[in-house]
Chains A and B, each alone.
Chain A
Amino acid sequence: SQQGEEDPQALSIQEGENATMNCSYKTSINNLQWYRQNSGRGLVHLILIRSNEREKHSGRLRVTLDTSKKSSSLLITASRAADTASYFCATSGVNTDKLIFGTGTRLQVFP
C-alpha cells in the first residue's frame, strides 16, 4: 500500500528563512499533493504535481518530485509567521483516486 512518510516531523525556523519538507511513498502514483492544516482545522490544498512532472512552483512554494526515488519535497521560501502549520503530502494512485496521506511535518515559524 502507499504510505507517505515525511521528514522532519517538526521544523522550527525564523521568519525569512526557507523551509524544506520531504515526503516518501512506496508505490506508483498518479499525482502527489501537498496540504496545509492549521491546528485543529481543515486541510487546505497547496499544490499538485503529476507523476510526469519534476518540479512545480506556486508563489513561494516549490515542489519537486522524483519518481525513481519515490520522494517529493516542498520548499517554502521567505517563510512568514503565518506559515506556521502542519504540512502533509498525499498521493493518489494509478487505479484509485483516494488520497494516502503522510505523517506530516509541523512547521513553526518564529517572528
Chain B
Amino acid sequence: EPEVTQTPSHQVTQMGQEVILRCVPISNHLYFYWYRQILGQKVEFLVSFYNNEISEKSEIFDDQFSVERPDGSNFTLKIRSTKLEDSAMYFCASRIGQTFRYTFGSGTRLTVV
C-alpha cells in the first residue's frame, strides 16, 4: 500500500533555530496536511494545503510556521525560530480528494532544547 514518507524520524534542535520537516505524500493525492501531537496530548490540526496554497490553518500555525510544496513531490513544514513548546511529534497526511480517507506518515519527533 502507498505510504506517506516523513524525514527525519527524529530531530533535535536548539531553541531559536530554524527547522524544516519533510514529507513525501502519496503521488496522486491532492490534499496535504500537517498535524502535531505534544507528548501525551491530542493530535492537533496545523494546516491544510491544496492547489499550491493554504486552504485552512489553526491558531497554532502562526507566523513562525510556513509550508511549501517546492517541487511537486515534497511537502515541507518550516518553523522559523523554534521554541521549547514546539517539541512534539509532527505528522504529515495526504488524501486523494474523492474520499475523506487520510494517509498519515509515521511522524517526525522534534525535540527543542
Contacts and interface: CB of A to CB of B under 8 A. Distances in A.
Interface string B80-113: 0000000001010101000111111111010000
A22 interface: no
A84 interface: no
Contact of B104 (A43, A98, A100): A43
B5 to A, nearest CB: 11
A3 B44 CA distance: 11
A11 interface: no
B48 interface: yes
Contact of A42 (B48, B100, B107): B107
B91 A43 contact: yes
Interface string A20-60: 00000000001101010000111111001000000000000
Given A30-B100, A43-B43, A43-B91, A99 B35 contact: yes
A33 B56 contact: no
Interface of B: 31, 33, 35, 42-45, 48, 56, 58, 89, 91, 93, 95, 99-107, 109
Contacts of A99: 33, 35, 43, 45, 102
A102 B42 CA distance: 7
Interface of A: 30-31, 33, 35, 40-45, 48, 88, 90, 92, 96-104
Q: Which of A31, A97, A102 has the most CB of B within 10 A?
A: A97
A16 B85 CA distance: 41
Contacts of A33: 100-102
